[in-house]
Amino acid sequence: MFRIVNKKELNSAVTLLEIEAPFVAKKAQAGQFIIFRVDEFSERVPLTIADYDREKGTVTIIFQKVGLSTNLLAAKEVGESIRDFVGPLGIATEYEGIKKVAVVGGGVGCAIAYPQAKALHKLGAQVDVIAGFRNKDIVILEDEMKAVSDNYYLMTDDGTAGEKGFVTDKLKELIEAGNQYDAVIAIGPIPMMKFVSLTTKPYGIKTIVSLNPIMIDGTGMCGCCRVTVGGETRFACVDGPDFDGHLVDFDELMNRNSIYKEQEAQMKESHVCRMEKLAHDLIQ
């Protein structure tokens, strides 16, 4: 069992949990992920590591409440435990040769972009962070991002915080202003990573994306996490999750990730309905 030692609601849909997992914390690196199970009856769900503290023996995860498992996880409180917390899994991000970088995060993807910026900042690289959200109400990790970047640019679709526009607008502006990036690291919704990659391709800038396909075992045996990169089949759990954004078949990835959306929605609805009925009966 893995105990929750800290919990914070970053906004109405995004939760931060700090989990006591000393063996995972000992080996964790930016870019890697864990797989959790809330209890023995739950599904296995991958989440990228948002932070870790080797001295405390804790690992931080940040996630959006979108399905049954993430809602169950978010319902846990400090002092409670979850059944499984396996990791670190995947290949850590490689930073060799990166002296100047743009780290681009979209929505809850900023939780994954943060450790990338933090690691590069610690290595002495010049870090420009571009964070994008729909509006001011869902902005997360602003202070944390500012602390590990040389320049922080906040973009919102509606202009209610930072600048109005998309992350690709700011990225293109910075590139055309003469910023010579050794790499761009983009993490967020698949369409965002796709268009960041399309933005950087004409300039020949190395672009790293962190992929989030359907995953079960995290060891490459089930084959569910397969993605097409450069025309070849790769497995995100053991070959990634980082890949060259200019080679990823994003359209295929989006199609595969949407296969079970209807079933996921049904599971979430039926579970919430039962819980609401139970709460109502107890109150009565």
Domain boundaries, the chain: 2-89, 100-257
pLDDT at 103: 97
Of the given ranges (70-74, 122-126, 204-208), which has the lowest mean pLDDT?
A: 70-74
- pLDDT bracket for residue 263 (50, 70, 90): low
pLDDT at 258: 67
When pLDDT is averaged across residues 12-37 and rounded to a whole number, the result is 93
- pLDDT bracket for residue 69 (50, 70, 90): confident
CATH match of 100-257 with 3.30.43.10:
no
What φ, ψ does residue 119 adopt, rounded to 5°? -65, -45
pLDDT at 221: 80
Residues 178-203 pLDDT 10s: 999 999 999 999 999 999 999 999 99
**Pairing mode, if any, of strands 84-89 and 33-37?**
antiparallel
- Integer CA distances (angstroms), 20 to 43, 50, 141, 183, in order: 20, 14, 21, 33
| Whether residue 279 has pLDDT greater than 50 | no
- Find the DSSP H helices in the chain: 22-27, 68-74, 110-122, 142-147, 167-176, 190-200, 236-239, 250-257, 261-283
pTM, two decimal places: 0.85
| Whether residue 260 has pLDDT greater than 80 | no
| Whether residue 15 has pLDDT greater than 80 | yes
Contacts of the segment 225-233: beta carbons below 8 A, 24+ positions apart: 227/252, 227/253, 228/252, 228/253
- pLDDT bracket for residue 274 (50, 70, 90): low
Contacts of the segment 199-202: beta carbons below 8 A, 24+ positions apart: 199/168, 199/171, 199/172, 199/175, 200/171, 200/175, 200/245, 200/246, 201/246
When pLDDT is averaged across residues 142-162 and rounded to a whole number, the result is 95
| Whether residue 41 has pLDDT greater than 80 | yes
- Integer CA distances (angstroms), 25 to 87, 116, 212, 222, 270, in order: 9, 16, 21, 26, 35
pLDDT at 281: 55
Q: What is the C-alpha to C-alpha distance for residues 138 and 249, in angstroms, rounded to an integer?
A: 29
| Whether residue 265 has pLDDT greater than 60 | no
Question: Could you tell me if residue 72 is left (phi over 0), alpha (psi between -120 and 50 degrees) or otherwise beta?
Answer: alpha
Residues 216-239 pLDDT 10s: 777 778 788 889 999 999 998 899
| Whether residue 54 has pLDDT greater than 90 | yes
258 or 214: which carries more pLDDT confidence?
214
* Mean pLDDT of the chain, nearest integer: 89
| Whether residue 257 has pLDDT greater than 90 | no
User: What order do you get walking across the sheet with 100-106 strand by strand?
Assistant: 163-164, 151-156, 126-133, 100-106, 183-187, 207-210, 242-244
- pLDDT bracket for residue 262 (50, 70, 90): low
**Pairing mode, if any, of strands 14-20 and 58-64?**
antiparallel
Q: What is the C-alpha to C-alpha distance for residues 131 and 64, in angstroms, rounded to an integer?
A: 16
- DSSP for 228-278, please give it: EETTEEEEHHHH-SEEETTTB-HHHHHHHHTTTHHHHHHHHHHHHHHHHHH
Assigned CATH for 2-89: 2.40.30.10
When pLDDT is averaged across residues 240-251 and rounded to a whole number, the result is 94
Of the given ranges (128-132, 142-146, 159-163, 277-281), which has the lowest mean pLDDT?
A: 277-281
